[in-house]
Amino acid sequence: MPEPDRSRAAGPCALPARADPALADCVALVLAGGGGTRLRPLTEGCAKPAVPFGGTLRIVDFALANSLNSGLPAVGVLLQCEAASVQRHIQSAWAGAPITLLPPPPGSPGYAGTADAVRQQLPWLRARGARRVVVLAGDHVVRMDLARLLAEHQARGAEVSVATLAVPLAQAREFGVLRTAPGGHVTGFTEKPRQPEPLPGRSDVALASMGIYVFEFGLLAQELERDAADPRSAHDFGRDLLPALVGRARMFAHDFARSAVAAAEDAREGAAAPYWRDVGTLDAYWAAHQDLLGPRPGIDLADPAWPLQPDASARPLRCVAWHGVSESLLGAECRIGNAEVRRSVLGPGVQVGDGSVIEQSVLLPGAVVGRGVVLRRAIVDAGCVLPDRLRIGENEAEDRARFELSAGGVAVVTQAMLDAERPLPRTVAGVAPAGLARVQPGGAARSGGGSLVRPLAMP
């Protein structure tokens, strides 16, 4: 069988390496092959893990950074839908890191489910000498020390560990829900139950799976082959593999609070403040960006002790107050005229024209906003050119007729939608007036009157 694609771009990886003999035989697998139908139209031509996040990151960067910051010696990334978008990002942004790209093997019809995807890569895991395998979703926003999860797994003598957290009962039907005995032993696992079982003594919450697992390799290989032979199986970890292991394997629930990496301020105050978001829907994606803003963001994108990407100069800036910009994140080379930007995230290369107002919005890299534009509670796709005086977020009926509207009322704008409304030039005149402020890569925003933009803490 031909070797999987191990190609990487040349260059060093700047993430810290932690020599840990206990992890030498542990391998991480990142499931990054999903189509991301619930994130459409952002995933048209782009895999869900490759969708931009936080101005300069891609969603998959969290799983990659957690694996490498935790000291795992090897990471395999399973690719399928729109694989080229993930491959390009990893080979560029993660050059030199011990990451292997794992598309379906030659001759395979493709991955039939999450469990089947891992089964088809068992030869790669055997070649790596894996004794324990960490399985991670490639579409979660989280900072997690996997070394702590693995240490607890080993101390318990577990064969399977499932990372968990308590979620409101009304939301639990969207997750796998666990029942546990004292000590964390799993006695029940139901994927997306209609009537979730609450935690004992807490009628308002249930214990949910985070989609992060640790398996002993021998058991994993055995169970994957058993599952592959079952014609009734959907070959999915949550729906098939884990429920079938209840009562047959030593399976434990891991409390995410024990391995969460806290924001710097919370760590100093002794609070873990666990943060985890599945950003698989448009509303969740928008809400996670709002969590990045304000004086105490839910997750720290620029903690030098837990970097989320190798290139420190590519991290976004946080604006406290500057030329009409407040509580926002700006990527490199943003160009902002005499405009107001509040509680928004602007990716690299975004341009905003005079007289525009942007509130609670996410603008992906390269978006261009003309003059007099109003954007409220919107997501603008990469490279969009918004014409002068366009107004979004003021009239729900008009927004629904012209654009994609999420269940929570967030408008999603793509260039195809704008072009369907009326033909537009690919550039907007006057977006870069004299007196424009420009965000320098890796530095503060600059203008003729000086800078009041404070860069996030960097090493």
Which of 49-85 are b and which e, b meaning 16 or more Cβ less than 10 Å from the residue's Cβ? Answer: bbbbbbbbbbbbbbbbbbbbbbbbbbbbbbbbbbbeb
Q: What is the pLDDT of residues 350-367, one digit of tens each?
A: 999 999 999 999 999 999
Q: What is the pLDDT of residue 23?
A: 84
Structure tokens at 319: 């604006």
**Cα 325 from Cα 343, distance rounded (Å):** 9
- Residue reference for tokens 């840990």: 20
Return the SS3 of 63: helix
Half-sphere exposure of 258 (CA within 13 A, CB side): 14
Report whether 58 contacts 46 (CB < 8 A). no
The fold adopted by the segment(s) 21-278 is: Spore Coat Polysaccharide Biosynthesis Protein SpsA; Chain A (3.90.550)
**Cα 160 from Cα 216, distance rounded (Å):** 7
Going by C-alpha positions, the residue among 153, 184, 216, 158 that lies closest to residue 27 is 216
- Rounded to whole angstroms, what are the CA distances from 176 to 59, 184, 313? 22, 16, 38
Pairing of strands 276-278, 176-180: unpaired
Q: What is the pLDDT of residue 321?
A: 55
Pairing of strands 404-405, 411-413: antiparallel
Report whether 140 contacts 163 (CB < 8 A). no
β-partners of residue 117 are none
Q: What is the pLDDT of residue 446?
A: 35
Q: What is the pLDDT of residue 453?
A: 30
Structure tokens at 177: 């829900």
Architecture of domain 316-455: 3 Solenoid (2.160)
Residues of the chain with pLDDT under 70: 1-21, 35-36, 263-273, 312-314, 316-322, 421-459
**Torsion sign, CA atoms 142, 145, 146, 152:** negative
**Cα 372 from Cα 17, distance rounded (Å):** 48
Domain ranges of the chain: 21-278, 316-455
- Rounded to whole angstroms, what are the CA distances from 94 to 15, 26, 251, 387? 9, 20, 33, 36
Tell me how crowded residue 401 is: count the other CB atoms within 10 A of its CB. Answer: 10
**Amino acid sitting at position 162:** V
Q: Indicate the DSSP class of residue 50.
A: G
Q: What is the pLDDT of residue 314?
A: 66
Tell me how crowded residue 415 is: count the other CB atoms within 10 A of its CB. Answer: 17
Q: Cβ neighbours of residue 369 under 8 Å, at least 6 residues apart? A: 339, 350, 351, 352, 353, 356, 358, 363, 375, 380, 386, 428, 431
Report whether 421 contacts 404 (CB < 8 A). no
Structure tokens at 342: 């509040």
Q: Report the predicted TM-score, pTM, of the whole model to 2 decimal places.
A: 0.84
Quick one: how far is CA 432 from the chain centroid? 32
